[in-house]
Structure 1
Amino acid sequence: MANRLGVPKKRANVPITGINALRSLAREKVNISFRSRVSSFRAGLDCLVTKQATGTIPTSNLDIDSWNIPTGLILADPQFHIPAKIDMLIGAEIFFDIFKPSQLLLEDHLPHLRDTYLGWIVSDVIHEPYSPTVNLQHSNIASIEEVETMMQQFWQIEKVSDVPKFSAEE
């Protein structure tokens, strides 16, 4: 995504820990400004650059023909039901700022629609076609540790003692 946007990259060295304690390292970061295509919402973000944000979501096509999504609602992702690559994860610094108070429940067994400044989003447990009895939940979170703290810990561990290990005679 950073390449497609053509924004200048800066060097970084930030460890990222995700689900199942999987670790990766972001070696670049970018600063972006973005705006909503459906409202006047604007924000600036510092983003870590990785090879991919997540796997393909959803993992298979969702049949939404019977969902009766009201006409006139502008969806944040009109193709949410088709498996696709995720370009960017929005972090906690603006996550709650994008939500509006409105939400809709389509039917008891269907997802909720939640209004945001980026358009309406679909949220809930969705039964995917290949496994209707298993509830799959897609959730993404990354925990970023401060590099300075890690470096301090490294140097504390690697600190060489000033006390000689051998006496002068030895």
Structure 2
Amino acid sequence: MSDNYFQSVKGHYKKSISCLVIDNITDCMSLSPKNIVNLKIPECIELADTSFHNGGPIDILLGATIFFEILCKNQILLGKDKPILQETLFGWIAAGSIQVQNQKQVTSLLCNEQELQDQLLMFWEIEEPSVQKIKYSHEEEECLKYFNETTTRDETGQFVVKMPLKDNIEQLGDTYDVALRKFIALEIKFQVNPGLHKQYVTFMKEYKDLGHMTKTNDHNNETVYHLPHHPVVKTDSLTTKLRVVFDGSAWPSNGLSLNETQKVGPTLQNDLFSIIVRFRKHSVALTADVEKMYRKVWIHESERHLQQIIWRENQESPISIYQLNTVTYGQAAAQFLAIRSLIQTVIDNEDRNPVACYVIKNDFYVDDLLSGAEK
């Protein structure tokens, strides 16, 4: 963007404007010169552009605000099938069509072979995104390497991962006081809205019953981090109306937040546009999602003290400290860990079931599947 001004070569009109400078606006206004003798433009008219009937590039494109500002009240009608002359602060301008007489109409098609080749290449890259070459940043490469070196599976086959932590983990602050204040404010909200309280308790009870969080007394460790939590209500959901979100970005009184000590990791799935384009090709549509995808991946026991929360079902009970045992939504590295684990299932099973693995690798967007088949 640049600040500049333009002025009329026919008068004193001058206007300051902010311009966006680009190489090209569009094609020429006219493809070939036109004969305007038959228009019989009055000699007393001073045209803003005496060569308006000839082809040429567009130098500047003005907005509607300036357009209406430069219009004057006078107009001249040159006749049927002829342009209208309009007086402006730049001089008179012509608007409308010009009839071309005794000219043979020629229609041509120009095809640039290189452009066509590039377009076909782009099309096939969308069709086969797995062949695209992706260049990761140094931090993203570190996340991928760390996942390969530290990820294991337990006796049930579930993934056990470690957080890709930065070198500044020692600067992690504790948010116990912040988490406690927010929890007390949440309990006040429960008193006003008993229905919300009931849904919240149900959600957290399921969390405990599934083993995704367990009570702990380890809240005096120097590197402990307490995650504040709050409800997100989605009334149009067919399954879970309420979801509890744990805030890994909560700012501690001293030090860094948990998200500031985590590496984010690369994007591993195809972009949504490519997935939808392929999805629309299928005669039979197939949609699905992975239930509790993040919570299907466990955090290594040595790092669960970084995921502690404050909780009690009612105000009559003492406040307890729980640790979250699985990958937790709301953390910087959570999406990478969950999606990388999903992709690992493809790597481990591609030889045995290549069709299913192809779908998992190419038709998932986070935990949502958009795929299909032919009749």
Give the shorter-chain TM-score range.
0.5 to 0.7
Alpha-carbon distance in structure 1 between the residues aligned to 2:91 and 2:104: 29
Counterpart residue number, 2:185: none
Quick one: which amino acid aligns to residue 58 of structure 1? Answer: S
Match of 1:47 among 16, 19, 24: 19
- Overall identity of the aligned pairs, in %: 31
Alpha-carbon distance in structure 2 between the residues aligned to 1:125 and 1:68: 15
Give the superposition deviation at 1:127. Answer: 3.7
Question: Which of structures 1 and 2 has the bigger CA Rg?
Answer: 2
SS at match of 1:49: coil
Give the superposition deviation at 1:90. Answer: 1.0
Matched, 1:117 2:89: yes
- Number of aligned positions between the proteins: 113
The alignment's TM-score, normalised by the length of structure 1, stands at 0.59
Alpha-carbon distance in structure 2 between the residues aligned to 1:49 and 1:75: 27
Match of 1:104 among 76, 94, 115: 76
Moved more, 119-128 or 93-102: 119-128
Q: Which has the higher contact order (CA 8 A, sep 6+)?
A: 1
Match of 2:46 among 58, 74, 91: 74
Counterpart residue number, 1:56: 28
SS at match of 1:66: helix
Q: Residues 50 and 43 from structure 1, CA distance in 2 versus in 1: closer, same or farther, beyond 3 angstroms?
A: same
Alpha-carbon distance in structure 2 between the residues aligned to 1:74 and 1:94: 21
Alpha-carbon distance in structure 2 between the residues aligned to 1:127 and 1:101: 26
SS at match of 1:46: strand
SS at match of 2:23: coil
SS at match of 1:126: coil
Give the superposition deviation at 1:75. Answer: 0.9
SS at match of 2:29: coil
Q: Which has the higher strand share?
A: 1
| Map 1:8-157 → 2, pairs under 5 A | 29-128=1-100, 131=105
Measured against aligned partners, the alpha-carbon deviations of 1:27-85 in whole angstroms (never above 9, x if no partner) come to xx221112212222111111111111221111211110111111121111110011001
* Gap regions ≥5 residues in structure 1: 1-28, 132-160
Alpha-carbon distance in structure 2 between the residues aligned to 1:93 and 1:130: 40
Alpha-carbon distance in structure 1 between the residues aligned to 2:51 and 2:17: 24
Alpha-carbon distance in structure 2 between the residues aligned to 1:59 and 1:80: 12
Q: What's the Cα RMSD here?
A: 2.2
The alignment's TM-score, normalised by the length of structure 2, stands at 0.28
Moved over 6 A (4+): none
Alpha-carbon distance in structure 2 between the residues aligned to 1:111 and 1:93: 23
SS at match of 1:107: coil
Give the superposition deviation at 1:126. Answer: 3.0
Alpha-carbon distance in structure 2 between the residues aligned to 1:130 and 1:43: 43
Counterpart residue number, 1:18: none
Q: Residues 130 and 45 from structure 1, CA distance in 2 versus in 1: closer, same or farther, beyond 3 angstroms?
A: farther
Give the superposition deviation at 1:162. Answer: 4.5
